[in-house]
């Protein structure tokens, strides 16, 4: 029987808070870097027969096995890594994998939640650079990786099957995040940036309004509920001329149905094989209290009467004291997971980076302490 969840909220992916009682709502006032561990891109593991390690975009903790489950965003081989996790010193090691099979759509997996019955919920960005496009969504799989169902998704999020994206999620800017409340009754995801019909994506001059989606437990599944606007920061301006830049909401942690942690990632790249790069990784506390429910609006364009969720900066990772020199340029951090409280009341929070299967990047696991 599944070991009960004293540690159920444990690590990465933000997405694994499944205790039936759960901790009191998290109201952090600060966050500090504690420890870091990394795995080089291309590292081979005998435990991963026929599969590369990398592309880790979100994680969940399996209280039954004491393992981490890390979802990979490899579009051609959708899978979840089983990871052995040690806290002191921080260490993560792949020990196996779960192949995701039977999906009716092509996946670009980004977030993961472990349900109390052992099933997995996976958020997928869909595939918008192929014809016909594959829609975004949230899919349920058994613990062995067999497809169960797709959650219903409001039509406003689905881009046209072909042609210009005039509505729905933008290419590669969909559901990066996935989070479950401690009572297991409310699920959250969010768009990485604004829907095409809602407004412009962020640039160096201005931010954007993405959407946070609520799903409520109903019987054996989850159904769409309220929606709120989330105000993204502008892209961090580099001291070079970039040929590519992006920013977005890439992960959420839910401590209650009103309180979240949000991870924003900003990236700019200079032209050339060895061009300079600038990453900015910021962690925010988010409150939905007082925010306007926009679930009735297919588009918010032209409206000035809508109040977004409020947010408070907890940590700018690049400015954190104790950042290892090898991490000075940061990396593509995309996942979060909240661990159980320590005896002094602090909460460990793990941040994970996606190496994009690139030899210029690594898979980093960074532990923060939330007070």
Q: Read off the pLDDT of residues 228-279 as tens digits, 9 standing for 90 and up.
A: 999 999 999 999 999 999 999 999 999 999 999 999 999 999 988 778 999 9
pTM of the model: 0.91
CATH of the domain at 203: 2.115.10
What distance in Å separates the CA atoms of residue 269 and residue 279, rounded to the nearest whole number? 9
Residue 27 confidence (pLDDT): 65
Q: To the nearest whole percent, how much of the chain has pLDDT over 70?
A: 92
Asked if residue 96 is part of any domain, the answer here is yes
How far lies 263's CA from each of 16, 249, 308, 333, in Å?
16, 6, 16, 8
Q: What is the pLDDT of residue 274?
A: 77
pLDDT at 124: 98
Q: Who wins on pLDDT, 35 or 273?
A: 35
Supply the pLDDT for residue 273. 79
Look at residue 12 and tell me if it is in a domain. Answer: no
Would residue 13 count as lying in a domain?
no
Q: Is residue 6 part of a domain?
A: no
| Structural domain boundaries, residue 234 | 31-370
Task: Tell me the pLDDT tens digit for each residue of 78-128.
Answer: 999 999 988 889 999 999 999 999 999 999 999 999 999 999 999 999 999
pLDDT at 50: 85
The per-residue b/e assignment along 152-180, b for 16 or more CB within 10 angstroms, e otherwise, is ebeebbbbeeeeebebbbbebbbbbbbbb
Question: What's the gap between Cα 102 and its chain centre?
Answer: 23
Give the pLDDT confidence of 169-213 residue by residue, as tens digits: 999 999 999 999 999 999 999 999 999 999 999 999 999 999 999
Give exposure, 340-359, as e/b (b: 16+ Cβ within 10 Å). Answer: beeeeebbbbbbbbbbbeee
Domain assignment present for residue 243? The answer is yes
Q: Is the C-alpha dihedral spanning 17, 21, 24, 25 positive or negative?
A: positive
The number of folded domains in the chain is 1
Q: Is 173 a domain residue?
A: yes
Q: Is the pLDDT of residue 12 over 60?
A: no
| Within-domain flag for 95 | yes
**Euclidean distance between CA atoms 122 and 137, whole angstroms:** 8
Q: Tell whether 21 is covered by a domain.
A: no
Distance of alpha carbon 112 from alpha carbon 96, whole angstroms: 17
């Amino acid at each position: 029987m599944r070991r009960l969840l004293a540690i159920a909220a444990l690590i990465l992916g933000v997405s694994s808070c499944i205790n039936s009682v759960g901790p009191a709502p998290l109201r952090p006032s600060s966050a500090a870097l504690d420890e870091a561990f990394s795995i080089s891109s291309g590292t081979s593991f005998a435990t991963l027969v026929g599969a590369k390690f990398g592309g880790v975009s979100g994680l969940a903790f399996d209280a039954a096995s004491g393992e981490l489950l890390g979802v990979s965003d490899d579009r051609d081989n959708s899978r979840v890594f089983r990871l052995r996790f040690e806290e002191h010193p921080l260490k993560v090691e792949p020990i196996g994998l779960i192949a995701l099979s039977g999906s009716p759509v092509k996946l670009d997996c980004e977030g993961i939640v472990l349900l109390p019955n052992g099933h997995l919920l996976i958020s997928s960005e869909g595939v918008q650079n192929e014809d016909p496009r594959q829609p975004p969504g949230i899919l349920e799989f058994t613990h062995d990786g067999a497809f169960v169902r797709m959650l219903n998704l409001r039509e406003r999020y689905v881009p046209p099957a072909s042609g210009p994206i005039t509505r729905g999620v933008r290419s590669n800017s969909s559901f990066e995040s996935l989070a479950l409340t401690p009572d297991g009754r409310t699920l959250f995801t969010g768009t990485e940036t604004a829907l095409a019909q809602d407004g412009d994506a962020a640039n160096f001059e201005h931010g954007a309004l993405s959407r946070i989606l609520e799903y409520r437990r109903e019987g054996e599944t989850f159904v769409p509920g309220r929606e709120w606007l989330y105000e993204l920061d502008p892209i961090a301006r580099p001291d070079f001329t970039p040929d590519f830049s992006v920013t977005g909401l890439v992960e959420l942690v839910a401590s209650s149905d009103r309180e979240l942690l949000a991870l924003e990632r900003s990236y700019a790249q200079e032209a050339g094989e060895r061009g300079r790069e600038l990453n900015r990784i910021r962690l925010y506390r988010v409150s939905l209290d007082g925010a306007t429910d926009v679930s009735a609006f297919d588009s918010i364009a032209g409206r000035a009467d809508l109040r977004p969720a409020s947010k408070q900066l907890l940590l700018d990772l690049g400015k954190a004291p104790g950042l290892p020199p090898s991490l000075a340029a940061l990396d593509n951090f995309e996942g979060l997971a909240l661990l159980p409280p320590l005896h002094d009341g602090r909460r460990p929070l793990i941040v994970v980076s996606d190496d994009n299967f690139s030899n210029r990047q690594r898979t980093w696991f960074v532990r923060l302490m939330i007070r």
